[in-house]
Amino acid sequence: MIATDMDGTLTIDQKFTPQLLQAFDRLNQAGISVLIVTGRSAGWVSGLVNYLPIVGAIAENGGLFYQGETQELLVPISDIKLHRQRLAEMFLELRSFFPKIQESNDNAFRLTDWTFDVSGLNLEDLKRLNSLCQNNDFGFTYSNVQCHIKLANQDKAQGLLQVLEKHFPQYTLEQIATVGDSPNDESLFGQFPMSIGVANIQHYQTQLEHLPTYITTQPEGLGFCEFVDAVL
């Protein structure tokens, strides 16, 4: 099985390409399943999962799992409305220190996390945002697209491990290849022995404690297709 990030890993300039869809088709013909593990919102992923030849998708950095029309919560949130209220309060506190941060346009379609645009923030800003969230018992991560306020123990690897145990117990960790391009994919690199970074992961090398086992020569979706060529 291939468990892969989406933005910056499957896309090229934020778009799916015919080459990517052909790669998915080749993987299916070879009997290799694809599972998407993304930071994108519940609203986006619940629709996307029905349009791609994949076995399911994890949304919101390990927050939810979608398979067909089924939605499964992967994190311990008993009251979504109250949780969203707490996330909103945390965002307002962050904005008191960083007045220019803007809520992401997909935030209204989220359940387990809160997002704002990463553009305009430097590494020191991101470290400060992380510290502020931790001081309030929240987690924080970011990608090439967005920053995420989330539960402290919510990440892609924990979500994927839950989904594998419940829905795909036939796979061992050694039979899973994880693919990503950003800091919010780091948990996948640290937990799974077969991890791949597309070339643009090198932008973040100094910021990561856990690096992927392999790095492709090509960036973004071209790098994913390069990996598929190597597998097949």
According to DSSP, residue 65 is labeled E
Which CATH code is given to the segment(s) 80-151? 3.90.1070.10
| Residue type, position 48, single letter | L
Kindly state the average pLDDT of the residues 4-14.
96
When pLDDT is cut at 50, 70 and 90, the band that residue 186 belongs to is: very high
Distance of CA 39 to the CA centre of its chain: 4
Confidence of residue 54 (pLDDT cuts 50, 70, 90): very high
Whole-number pLDDT of residue 161: 98
**Which residue's entry shows tokens 């030849």?**
53
- The fold of 2-75+154-231 is Rossmann fold (3.40.50)
Q: Which tens digits make up the pLDDT trace of 139-168?
A: 999 998 899 999 999 999 999 999 999 999
Q: How far lies 104's CA from each of 110, 119, 147, 170, 185, in Å?
A: 10, 11, 9, 37, 19
At 101-132, the pLDDT tens digits run: 999 999 999 999 999 999 999 999 999 999 99
Mean pLDDT, residues 43-47: 94
Joined tokens for residue 220:
């973004």
Write down the pLDDT at residue 179.
98
Q: Locate 71 and state its tokens.
A: 């939605």
- What is the rounded CA–CA span in Å between residue 91 and residue 97? 10
Q: How far apart are CA 19 and CA 36, in angstroms?
A: 17
Element (H, E) at 180: strand 177-180
Closest C-alpha to 39, from 12, 13, 57, 16: 57
Residue 73 banded pLDDT, cuts 50, 70, 90: very high
Domain boundaries, the chain: 2-75+154-231, 80-151
Give the mean pLDDT of the chain: 96
User: What is the reported pLDDT for 38?
Assistant: 97
| Closest C-alpha to 203, from 215, 188, 193 | 215
Predicted local distance difference test score (pLDDT) of residue 139: 97
Position 77 confidence tier, pLDDT thresholds 50, 70, 90: very high
